[in-house]
Structure 1
């Protein structure tokens, strides 16, 4: 329906007739008349458009770079070159489409795709959707130029904006992007996080009167209500964003808070049998949601690469085991969004395989394959992605997450091996530099000379007293690197040779 809140009109058995996001009272009256007219004309019979194809009836396709190019074409065709974003109004963040455009620029050098990201970020940072008094982004813009926001602030949106601003700063080195990222962090630290115990809150309500005031005037007013429930997928997403920010900003307190939040998230919302529960409001609730398993698994991979601690990688693998056992369609490929209850009302009794959540799942599986070398992960990622080859075009530029997952599957990663004790300052220096660089296909391994001796020897690396980095794309690797400042130019040289010839 386009976002949250959702207004949806359903048939008695749960089929969607139509709807949208927030519908104002005057518009709602006409919408209700239109829905009634449609229902009377159809005599209660669903149109073919309302029929849902069973997952197994959708043919399986082949994966190719054309998928990525077609989604990029949709992004370019729908881009608003004046105000940024896509289409006319209302305008939602759609940060994943900007991330794909940035990836394309990084490997091709085509500045038109960089412009898609910079025009949008330059506009939104100065517009009404960014709170210049207290930091943080509002939910979306009701008009084309981003000047009139819907005033709710959500953890999910701010996590995604934070990552995008960090990435564009990494690419351009323009300080303004970094300042906006800092503003987001300041807002989240102050309003949407439990700084004492760890974890992030869900959202802060819309209040047009409050947000229309200056910061000093707001201090005299009652602030909008904050939803302090701990939502698993949003906590995982924000933790990943904080991990990235800690390296880009050189602020390890952000990394420490992200790790504390992930530990607490597991304490509150995780069991060995069911994996992650969806939210915590005094007790953990709603198990077996695909979105929670895959977002948390991805955050655990991020934590592993940020620390070298294998406990995070183990949790990631365990969560994918739960998701596979409970939600994976081993016969036809792809994951269901939840455990199907045949007795549920309407379409809730029907199996569904959402494109966005399956895209994240496949991306995590591909990443685990590169981190562990287990071929089964790669095969499962392929089976998942192939399931959506025939249907992704109907999503247009909203299939950007899928295209990025296909990109990760089809291309060799930029692997950075760091051979050295994780506690050594030199190892930490190499690790920080590896994270400071924008590299969307990056995979980082910290190999302990004692615990990982066999792996180090198998890779043909020497074990010395001085921590050493090796940068590889496929089978092409650099000479040993001991100075952190050498990582970026060596990686850039390899990318130029392999992708920008």
Structure 2
């Protein structure tokens, strides 16, 4: 029997005495001079449960581990920082470490017979060949330092980034079944989102064909649960068959966003139907009873999901992990804001605002920034991804509602990002705050391209909304320029980075609405601006009484009735009061920016 990390039983010799990841466990390993067995698991992970009920349920293995190792168990969803540094290529991950947290060896799933051999071998090497262990640790550390990416200071991105990433996507696209790469085949929401942005900007038929082939294949295949709804995490088959049956909030939110975006571009009902299915699934299965936050995932269950609708009706579905993960929740909130204005659904806006307010009340600390997860109490700060996604959700709320409270909160988060994560030399943002715990490999702060792309997109939005008042015009440019020697190495995974470059370099339509956000006319102007199809735009509602200095700086008049100004670069339109003039004026302003 395997106990979880908070429920150890020292009286049972055949029970693994799992420790939590903390300084006490590392001190224990140091004092007793024992290697660490680190298990990275997830509540949704099928093979994690298999390993629990086979390998770790074996009494002889448990006794050996308890006697010769310090076993530490970590939930990867709750500690993505640890997972990022110790994952062995999937879940479960089984890593053997020195007491200082350096990796000796590791694998993913290990069957009982193999585990007996591996743990004996690791113990023998650690106790009998210490010089070799020390040499290996030194080698791994030097190799890790040598492999740190070379980031550029002062480099400026160009549109060649967008072209290169587009070509990388074309190279790996599967024309027969859609998607990218072979098997196992994962959805690639960042790629689809990038292609749809480019299609809206360039009207390229090749890009929309890739999107439609991929989304069409997924929605008619096994990766999409036609009975309960929702999208599975990935498929083992190249044709989207044989899915791994866990359902994860982040995956479902990202895919729902793709289908909404495809509907926005094509107006085809087939994409709307799938998007509404995914939105409904998220709301019915992941939104908790209080309606204030989203759960993290639903566990895999191959037997349950292989049954037809009638049999499922008589079987308990796999359990839901009710843990709140801030980054996934913030992305889901952004999804519901998007759906609210695109589908003219006020319920989605109310839902998103309630969940966003809950994050602010329960998951935000003015000094430490965003917490990562919540399970009765908020836990773990110091991850840039949480702060960046929270900032984006707050900016979405501001643009949709016009309520300045959300902009002020976004600026507060942006300050934390700048103060705690921005590198000293200006080359991007670290994944961990300087004050984050430094056990094991957490002592090495990194600058991942993926997280920096998210931050850059937030910086671009803030730059345009505040007219460079809170974020300088070079902040996003410096961040994106830092990775010019790195993005091409990760192929289509650089899609969100390329999207940020496109947003930075192309003209942005700035819709400035002067009016009370609580007035119906103001809301009508906001909605019409949101519906404009041009991909690079922001909406800012300016109060005629609270934003007087901004109005004077921009040369706007304060009228009794709400008015709209459309601004491109440093040029603004005449005031607009009628929604039917917005589209034509937007085109005129964009055309004039090119001359």
Match of 2:343 in 1: 249
Bigger relative contact order, structure 1 or 2 (CA pairs below 8 A, ≥6 apart) = 1
Where 2:350 maps in the other structure, the secondary structure is helix
Match of 1:426 in 2: 521
Match of 2:229 in 1: 135
Quick check: 1:350 aligned with 2:444? yes
Q: Which moved more, 1:177-186 or 1:369-378?
A: 369-378
What are the ranges of 5 or more consecutive residues in structure 2 without an aligned counterpart? 1-86
Quick check: 1:304 aligned with 2:398? yes
Q: C-alpha separation between the residues in 2 aligned to 1:204 and 1:230?
A: 13
Contact 1:15 1:346 survives alignment (8 Å): no
Q: How does 1:52-63 map to 2 (within 5 A)?
A: 52-53=145-146, 58-60=151-153, 61-63=155-157
Q: C-alpha separation between the residues in 1 aligned to 2:527 and 2:243?
A: 37
Give the Å deviation of 1:404.
Answer: 1.4
* Cα pair distance change 1:439/1:140, threshold 3 Å: farther
Give the Å deviation of 1:433.
Answer: 2.0
Match of 1:444 in 2: 539
Matched residues, number = 492
Give the Å deviation of 1:312.
Answer: 1.0
Where 2:473 maps in the other structure, the secondary structure is helix
Give the Å deviation of 1:54.
Answer: 7.2
What is the root-mean-square deviation in Å for CA atoms of aligned residues? 3.2
TM-score where L is the length of structure 2: 0.75
Give the Å deviation of 1:131.
Answer: 1.2
Q: How does 1:61-76 map to 2 (within 5 A)?
A: 61-76=155-170
Q: C-alpha separation between the residues in 1 aligned to 2:152 and 2:441?
A: 22
Give the Å deviation of 1:490.
Answer: 4.3
After superposition, what is the alpha-carbon deviation per residue over 1:121-140, rounded to whole angstroms, capped at 9, x for unaligned?
Answer: 11111111111112211111
Contact 1:167 1:438 survives alignment (8 Å): no
Contact 1:278 1:285 survives alignment (8 Å): yes
* Cα pair distance change 1:171/1:363, threshold 3 Å: same
Q: How does 1:136-215 map to 2 (within 5 A)?
A: 136-215=230-309
TM-score where L is the length of structure 1: 0.89
Q: C-alpha separation between the residues in 2 aligned to 1:3 and 1:177?
A: 33
Give the Å deviation of 1:244.
Answer: 0.3
After superposition, what is the alpha-carbon deviation per residue over 1:136-191, rounded to whole angstroms, capped at 9, x for unaligned?
Answer: 11111111111221111111011111111111111110011111111011111111
Contact 1:189 1:195 survives alignment (8 Å): no
Q: Which moved more, 1:193-202 or 1:244-253?
A: 193-202
After superposition, what is the alpha-carbon deviation per residue over 1:446-469, rounded to whole angstroms, capped at 9, x for unaligned?
Answer: 122232344334333444344333
Which of the two has higher C-alpha Rg? 2
* Cα pair distance change 1:217/1:343, threshold 3 Å: closer
Q: 1:331 aligns with which of 411, 425, 429?
A: 425
Contact 2:449 2:487 survives alignment (8 Å): yes
Q: How does 1:399-418 map to 2 (within 5 A)?
A: 399-418=494-513
Where 1:378 maps in the other structure, the secondary structure is coil
* Cα pair distance change 1:16/1:289, threshold 3 Å: farther
Q: C-alpha separation between the residues in 1 aligned to 2:553 and 2:436?
A: 50
